Amino acid sequence: MTNIISSSNLGYPRIGENREWKKTLEAFWSSTISEDTFLKQMKNYRLNYLKKQKDLDIDYIPVGDFSYYDHVLDTATMFGLVPKRFEYSGGPVSLTTYFAMARGNEHAHACEMTKWFDTNYHYIVPEIDNNQTPMLVENKPLQAFLEAKNELNMIGKPVILGPFTFLKLSKGFKQDEFATILNRLVPIYIQILQELETAGASLVQIDEPALVTDMTKEEMKLFSTAYETITSQVLGLDLILQTYFESVTHYEELIQIPVKGIGLDFVFGKEENLTSILTYGFPKDKILGAGIIDGRNIWKSDLNVTLDLVRKLNDYVPFERQILQPSSSLIHVPVSLKHETQLEPLVKNALAFCLEKLEELKLLKEVVRTPTPAKMHELSLHHQTYNELATSKWRKEKSQTHLPNQRTLPFIQRQNLQQKKWNLPLLPTTTIGSFPQTKEIRQTRAKWRKGELTNEEYDIQIKEEIKKWVAIQEEIDLDVFVHGEFERTDMVEFFGEKLAGFTFSKNGWVQSYGSRCVKPPIIYGNVSFLEAMTIKETLYAQSLTNKPVKGMLTGPVTILNWSFVRNDIPNEEVAFQIAEALLNEVQLLEDAGITMIQVDEPALREGLPLKQRKHEAYLNWAVKAFRTTTSAVADSTQIHTHMCYCDFDEIIDSIYDLDADVISIETSRSHAELISAFETTVYNKGIGLGVYDIHSPRIPSEQEMLLTIERALSVLSPSLFWVNPDCGLKTRTEVETIAALKNMVKAAKKARALTVEV
């Protein structure tokens, strides 16, 4: 007798096996291809992705998960929620307006961009004015469903971002207006679902990851009421409320909502979600979407353990009411391992990218349905390759070294020493680290990696670029220089290539934001220092100028959070291994005379657990790891760090505890919100709030940046304030970079003069 259990996918990577999506997108932005060609190519990608999932025997294949930029932006534009500055006049939102919202244009700044829960994916923050009336201007899930139905004869599973999560991710309204706006959205969702039902859809995935956050009981009541209204008007459509990244907060209330199914994460929320089912049961009229394959990391699953979990769930939810699926959308992992021909076999055999994860789902489903000897043998072979790396020499237990994590003097005394040493002006200007990575620089690195340039030839070209940009910084009259990071492909990959315990894929790209893709390092074993990593280029830049040049490192927590991390030991242990390795580099820089050192931690906030009660433990070890990297230096050595935008006031104590002499924060898209945090929170260490947005090609004026500086100085001490862009300039052109930095320096000098006069 067979057990009828089914499989589903929650989302497929948009970028494609060879980043073809990215290349098409950027070709359209540069006007290399027409809008018609762009749309045709994107359609081909969508259909091809659906075919691949069909070939892997996925029972419920998502449609509507594809995007030209970001799924949250898609939802906002579907409702006609376009900020007034983009001069939208109604109807379907054009591609021009859509991309302007994401990237800005010469007339309007882009919408804010921030992290998608605790991942390294960034979404575009919807702006909702309580005076706006959302309406369905384009039923995008319906279009995706009909395309799959008409082109492939496929009844797909439409994927929709749910109203509650969409609103929680939005800004522009007061908290007491939340319920009113949610009630305005509910009829729109009803309309979307009714049109899908009419078109022949049978099952719809409604993503509500806000359910795993610290929702209040009042919020859960609002949530329940909204879905009771929706389901009362959509009777012929099975709705699955999908959660991921953690355990749900109000399980007892959630299972009472009259939807057909609930999707739970049994990877990142395993223990608590399982305990909820064992304690409170699971409704006999509902389907359980069991997220049992890790959707965020690239390691094979231990299918023996996973199979035991599925069988345990069967005691409460029979197989016929279980849908096996990844723990989240697979946009967080690369597409396919087939291009990885250079990885160490032992490591490669332990990996699973998107397609391999779907193959795991297929095997697991087949073993549950019909456990034939052939399938059980296949399961055994899978476990063998999974176990080989786990028992290898690379993962032998490593004892922790006890290293100093406290500076000798408090900040105020260090600041006096550092000011005497550097004699910097009020409101000193600097940049975050990287300068434009031109096509020529990328080609130089590629040739060197292929062996087409010798080490000497490569070094000469890198030095030429450093020399050029040191001269540009002199001309612009910045106060503190950087060498430009021309030798670095990526701020994490660069260090991973030089540390033991890391390896790299050839094609393991994932989407970070828009067309920006990253190829995270793979931490497969114990991490340790091998040799100097940044000394040569930093010292060369310093030899060209009398201005201070910052040494530039990526911090341990960011390297951890932006890598695919081994999952056999706690992240905390891996972070301290990285911190100890980086400490060696910090000491080498200091010994070489580089005594202004920036250790960037842009990803510290994104690693924060989604539940408040887990924050303290994470922040404690994250802060300790940073301080392990930076504390064993002289008090006159100035430690800088950089962070991407976060809810600053939420982790202000931990940011203060980093004990960096200067912190720069990416804030330009939400500058006013962050500045308001300082009206109630005193921060008395050096700080630079990014005064312009580097993610947009738009060049802000001197006056615009001056106003931003003045706004910041209304709540921050001029003696502590630094002026800088909000992030690295790697993605900008040379013309944009120079023009914006010139305006920034002029604005800083004018603000400096005004401050002195006062």
pLDDT over threshold 70, residue 758: no
**Which residues, including other chains, have CB under 8 Å from residue 340's CB and lie 6 or more apart?**
348, 351, 505, 506, 507, 508
Q: What domains are there in the chain, each with its CATH number?
A: 415-498+533-757 (3.20.20.210)
**Which residues, including other chains, have CB under 8 Å from residue 517's CB and lie 6 or more apart?**
15, 19, 22, 509, 510, 511
Q: What is the pLDDT of residue 651?
A: 81
DSSP state of 107: S
Query: Which letter, b or e, does each residue of 177-214 get, where b requires 16 or more Cβ atoms within 10 Å of its Cβ?
Result: ebbebbebbbebbbbbbebbbebebebbbbbbbbbbbe
pLDDT over threshold 50, residue 484: yes
Three-class secondary structure of residue 7 per DSSP: strand
Mean pLDDT of the chain: 94
Contact (CB, 8 A) for 309 and 246: no
Q: What is the pLDDT of residue 114?
A: 87
Look at 164-168, 219-223, 445-449 and tell me which has the smallest mean pLDDT: 445-449
219, 261, 217: which is closest to 243 by C-alpha? Answer: 261
664, 687, 643: which is closest to 411 by C-alpha? Answer: 687
**Which residues, including other chains, have CB under 8 Å from residue 651's CB and lie 6 or more apart?**
604, 605, 608, 615, 619
Q: What is the mean predicted confidence (pLDDT) over 577-586?
A: 97
pLDDT in tens, 236-291: 999 999 999 999 999 999 999 999 999 999 999 999 999 999 999 999 999 999 99
pLDDT over threshold 90, residue 70: yes
Contact (CB, 8 A) for 425 and 479: yes
184 half-sphere exposure, CB direction, 13 A CA radius: 19
The model's confidence at residue 672, banded by pLDDT at 50, 70 and 90, is low
Annotated binding-site residue numbers for L-methionine: 432-434, 485, 600
pLDDT over threshold 60, residue 671: no
Annotated binding-site residue numbers for 5-methyltetrahydropteroyltri-L-glutamate: 19-22, 115, 516-517, 562, 606
pLDDT over threshold 90, residue 402: no
Contact (CB, 8 A) for 50 and 155: no
The model's confidence at residue 696, banded by pLDDT at 50, 70 and 90, is confident
Contact (CB, 8 A) for 110 and 669: yes
Contact (CB, 8 A) for 597 and 662: no
pLDDT in tens, 330-380: 999 999 999 999 999 999 999 999 999 999 999 999 999 999 999 999 999
Which class for 305: exposed (0-12), middle (13-18), buried (19 or more C-beta within 10 A)? exposed
The model's confidence at residue 228, banded by pLDDT at 50, 70 and 90, is very high
pLDDT in tens, 298-328: 999 999 999 999 999 999 999 999 999 999 9
Q: Does the annotation mark 402 as catalytic?
A: no
Whole-number Å distance between alpha carbons of 321 and 6: 8
The model's confidence at residue 1, banded by pLDDT at 50, 70 and 90, is very low
Quick one: what percent of the chain has pLDDT higher than 90? 86
| Radius of gyration, CA atoms only, the chain | 26
pLDDT over threshold 90, residue 399: no
pLDDT in tens, 493-533: 999 999 999 999 999 999 999 999 999 999 999 999 999 99
Q: What is the pLDDT of residue 212?
A: 98
729, 695, 694, 689: which is closest to 710 by C-alpha? Answer: 689
Annotated binding-site residue numbers: 19-22, 115, 432-434, 485, 516-517, 562, 600, 606, 642, 644, 666, 727
Whole-number Å distance between alpha carbons of 260 and 265: 17
Q: What is the mean predicted confidence (pLDDT) over 725-729?
A: 91
Q: In the chain, how long is the greatest CA-to-CA distance? A: 87
The model's confidence at residue 607, banded by pLDDT at 50, 70 and 90, is confident
pLDDT over threshold 60, residue 646: no
DSSP state of 549: B
Instruction: Output the DSSP codes for 453-484.
Output: S-HHHHHHHHHHHHHHHHHHHHHHT-SSB--B
Query: Which letter, b or e, does each residue of 472-496 get, where b requires 16 or more Cβ atoms within 10 Å of its Cβ?
Result: bbeebebbbbbbbbbbbbbbbbbbb
Whole-number Å distance between alpha carbons of 281 and 274: 10
* DSSP β-bridge partners for residue 639: 597
Backbone torsion region of residue 122, taken as left when φ is above 0, otherwise alpha when ψ lies between -120 and 50, otherwise beta: beta
Phi, psi of 558 (to 5 degrees): -70, -40
107 vs 584, which has greater pLDDT?
A: 584
Annotated binding-site residue numbers for Zn(2+): 642, 644, 666, 727
Q: Which of 250, 640, 671, 695 is catalytic?
A: 695
Orientation of helix 615-630 relative to helix 571-591, angle to 10° = 20
Locate 615 and state its tokens: 């924050």
Q: What is the mean predicted confidence (pLDDT) over 6-16?
A: 97
pLDDT over threshold 70, residue 179: yes
pLDDT over threshold 90, residue 747: yes
